[in-house]
Copies of this chain bind each other. A is one copy, B any other.
Amino acid sequence: MSFDIETRWQAWHEVVESKDSSRLGDFLADEIEFYSPVFWKPKKGKMAAFIILSTVIQVFEGFVYERRWLNGREWALEFRARVRGLEVKGIDLMTFDETGKIVRFEVLVRPQNGLQALGEEMAQRLAALGITG
């Protein structure tokens, strides 16, 4: 494995917690699959993942990571945030390739009212960018 896990974690959580999308692309593999908390079917490709992730880090207010489980190239990151004033908890499940790019990104969110608010807010913002479904 050609990347240092702790360094990569530090860089990742700075990108997300500072809402700095300019460094987001560096983390995404071209063939990344993104699994949203709302829909079953993944979105494929770096462009789709970039648009979704850069939007979602704007939607979440007060986003902070809490516990983290970093097992080599398989990570689970717990977070807490607010969406439209509702408290949510979530988990990012990330799989990295050997160079430190994310090839699989899955997000789970609870509770149900927060997940619904997130889905509505994301649909609204993505529709404004001309993206649906």
Contact = CB atoms under 8 A, between A and B. Distances in A.
Interface stretch (A26-34, A45-53, A103-111): A103-111
Q: Chain A interface: which size bin?
A: 20 to 34
A20 interface: no
Copies in the complex: 2
A67 to B, nearest CB: 6
Interface in A1-41: 35-40
A112 B39 contact: yes
A81 to B, nearest CB: 13
A56 to B, nearest CB: 14
B93 A91 contact: yes
B111 A37 contact: yes
